[in-house]
Structure 1
Amino acid sequence: MKKTAEKTFSTGEFAKLLEVNKDTLLYYDKIDLFKPAGTFDNGYRYYTFDQFDQFVAIQSLRAVELPIKELKTYFDAPNIQSLQQLAMEQQEKVAREVLKLQDIQFFLEQTVALTKEMKEISIGEVLIKPLAAEPVVYSEEKMDWSISMEDLYEQSTTFFKKLGVKSTAAYGIVYSKEDFSKEETERESYLFCRLDDPSAKIKPAGDYAIIYHQGPYDELSQTFATLLTYLEKEQLELDGDIYEEYLLHSIVAKEEKDYITKVSAKVKRLA
C-alpha cells in the first residue's frame, strides 16, 4: 500500500466533495485526464484534498465545452499562452453558436406571432389597424418576373444569405404606391424582410389597411382589387408601400390553394 499522511477520499467521497457524478471521476481516470492520487492494496482508488484545485481547473474548461482531447493536451503542460489560445478559439466557437441561437430565436418568435395572427384572420375582409413603426430591409435588386422559378429562388436565397437569415417567417414582396397604381405587368417589386439590421429602413407607424388572401399567387390580383375598392368606398388612399407577406406557406400547408398571404399598406383619409 502507498503510504500517505494526508486524508484520503474514496471515489464516491471525492465525487461528493466536488459535487459531480462518481462516473465522471472513473471516466477521467480511464482516459488519463485526471488520475487518483493512488490505489490501496485492495485495489480501491483514493484521492486527496490537494487534487481539488486541479479538478476544478479541468471542470472550468469543460464548462465552456472545451473538447476532452484539447484538455488533455493542454494539461500535459499548462501555461498562460496556451490557455489564452484555447480561450480565444473557444470564444470564436461560442460566438458562432450565439448567432445560430439568435437565428433560431428569431424564427421561433416570428412563427409564434404569425400562428397567433393566422388564428384570428378573416380571409378576403379588409380591416384598418394601427401598427407601430418597425425596421424593414429591402433587396437592392428589383424582382425580374420574366426569369425562371429557379432563378427567382436563387435571387431570394442570395438576399436572405446576405442578411444572415435562414428562416422565411417574415418576408415577401413590396411595391411602392406609385408602382402599385400601374398595370400588374409594369409594377416594380422588391423583396423585403422584417428584420432589425443596419441596412433596414423604418416602416412608419400609422393606420394600415390589411387583407388576407388564401390561395395561389396568381389569384392575388383579385385580393388587390378588393383592397382598392374598399379604400375608394371608405375615402382612403395609399400613403406608403404595399407589402405582400407570405405567412409560413409551406410550413403549414401542403397545397398552394391553402397558402395565406397578408397584404398591408399604410393609408390616410382623402384630403
Structure 2
Amino acid sequence: MSNRKIKYFTTGEFAKLCKVNKQTLIYYDQIGLLSPAMKDEKDYRYYSIAQYDFFSVIELLKAVGMSLKEIQTYMANKSPHHFLQLMQQQKEVVEKKRQELRMIESMIDVKIRSTEEALHLDFDSITIQHLPEEVLYLSKNIEDSSEEQFVEAVSDFIDELYRSQLDTGHPIGAITKRDQILAGNYDNYSFLYMEQPFPREGHSYFKTIEGEVIIGYHVGTVSTIEQTYERLFAFMEEQHYRLGQYVYEEYVYDAFIKNDEEEYVTKIMLEVEKES
C-alpha cells in the first residue's frame, strides 16, 4: 500500500473528486453499480483515477433521466456496440429536452413581457383598438356546462396544451358569444383559448376577426364583473358601436401575482362594429 497516494483515492477523496458525498459511492458499491478498485484488509475502499470516467458516465445517464436500475441493466450487458447505441438514444433524449427548454424559455419571455406591460396599464381606462387577426387554440365547447363540467374542461384543456406542446405562455382566456353577453350571462363561456403566435401544422385553430375592439379591465372577482360590462356597454353606445360576435376575457393579474382575489385583473375585449 506504499504507492496508494499515487494510484488510489480513499472513498472521501474520490467523493470529493466526483463532487458527491461518500454515501453515494457506498450505495453504488452496495448495489453493484460502481465498486472500488480495491479494498484493504480493514475493508477500506480505494478507487482508481480510471473509475472517474466510469462515474461520470453514470452521472451523465442519470442527468438525462435514466434510473439506476436502467443503468444497472445496461452494465450487465455492456459492450462498445451497446454503449454506442445507448449514447445515440440519450442524444435524442437530450435534443427533446433542449426543445422543451426552448419552449419554456419562450413561455417565460411572454410572461415577463406581459407583466411588464401590465405595470403601465390604467385599469380604469376604456380604449378602442384596431387588432390584427390572431390565431387561437380552442378547447371543446363548454357553453351551458355545469361547474363540475367546467372544471373538467379546464383540466382537459391544460392537459391538451401540454401534450401537444401548444402552451405558449399566454394566459388561458375565455370566449363568450354575443347572445350570452347581451343576456347578462357573462360567465357562460363557449370556449377556452390560448393565443398561438406561431401556429404549427396538424392542429385546428380559430382565427379572430381583424377589426375594432373595445378593451377594458375588471378589477375584482367575477361576482362584480357585471358592473364593468355596464361601463363597457355605456362607452360602446357613446362611441356609436354595436357588439360583435364574440367577447374575449383573460387574466392580467391572477393568483400567481396577487394574493387577494379582489385585486385580480381581467382584460375584457369586445368585438364591435360601427353603427351605420
Q: Give the corresponding residue for 1:33.
A: 33
Q: Give the corresponding residue for 2:147.
A: 149
The Cα of 1:77 is off from its aligned counterpart by 2.8
Is the aligned partner of 1:233 residue 2:238?
A: yes
The Cα of 1:85 is off from its aligned counterpart by 7.4
In the aligned structure 2, how far is the partner of 1:186 from the partner of 1:214?
15
Cα-to-partner distance string for 1:48-99 (whole Å, 9 max, x where unaligned): 5655654444344234242223323422331445985798699679969976
Identity %, equivalent residues: 24
**Scaled by the length of structure 2, what TM-score is found?**
0.65
For structure 1, the residue ranges without an aligned partner over 5 or more in a row are none
Per mean C-alpha deviation after superposition, the further-off stretch among 161-170 and 201-210 is 161-170
Cα-to-partner distance string for 1:106-149 (whole Å, 9 max, x where unaligned): 775565455445433434431234545543123332410xx643
In the aligned structure 2, how far is the partner of 1:74 from the partner of 1:220?
60
Q: Give the corresponding residue for 2:193.
A: 193
Q: Give the corresponding residue for 2:18.
A: 20
Q: Give the corresponding residue for 2:9.
A: 10
Q: SS state of the match for residue 139, structure 2?
A: strand
The Cα of 1:233 is off from its aligned counterpart by 2.6
In the aligned structure 2, how far is the partner of 1:47 from the partner of 1:3?
13
The Cα of 1:212 is off from its aligned counterpart by 0.8
In the aligned structure 1, how far is the partner of 2:74 from the partner of 2:246?
58
Per mean C-alpha deviation after superposition, the further-off stretch among 81-90 and 114-123 is 81-90
The Cα of 1:103 is off from its aligned counterpart by 8.5
Q: SS state of the match for residue 184, structure 1?
A: coil
In the aligned structure 2, how far is the partner of 1:126 from the partner of 1:268?
16
8 Å Cα contact 2:11/2:25 also seen in 1:
no
8 Å Cα contact 2:168/2:194 also seen in 1:
no
Total equivalences in the alignment = 263
Q: SS state of the match for residue 215, structure 2?
A: strand
CA distance 1:186–1:254, shift in 2 (3 Å): closer
Per mean C-alpha deviation after superposition, the further-off stretch among 117-126 and 102-111 is 102-111
8 Å Cα contact 1:169/1:248 also seen in 2:
no
For structure 2, the residue ranges without an aligned partner over 5 or more in a row are none
In the aligned structure 1, how far is the partner of 2:130 from the partner of 2:149?
37
Q: SS state of the match for residue 141, structure 1?
A: coil
CA distance 1:92–1:121, shift in 2 (3 Å): same
Is the aligned partner of 1:126 residue 2:126?
A: yes
Q: Give the corresponding residue for 2:207.
A: 202
In the aligned structure 1, how far is the partner of 2:218 from the partner of 2:146?
24
In the aligned structure 2, how far is the partner of 1:174 from the partner of 1:54?
56
Q: Give the corresponding residue for 1:243.
A: 248
Q: CA RMSD in A?
A: 4.9
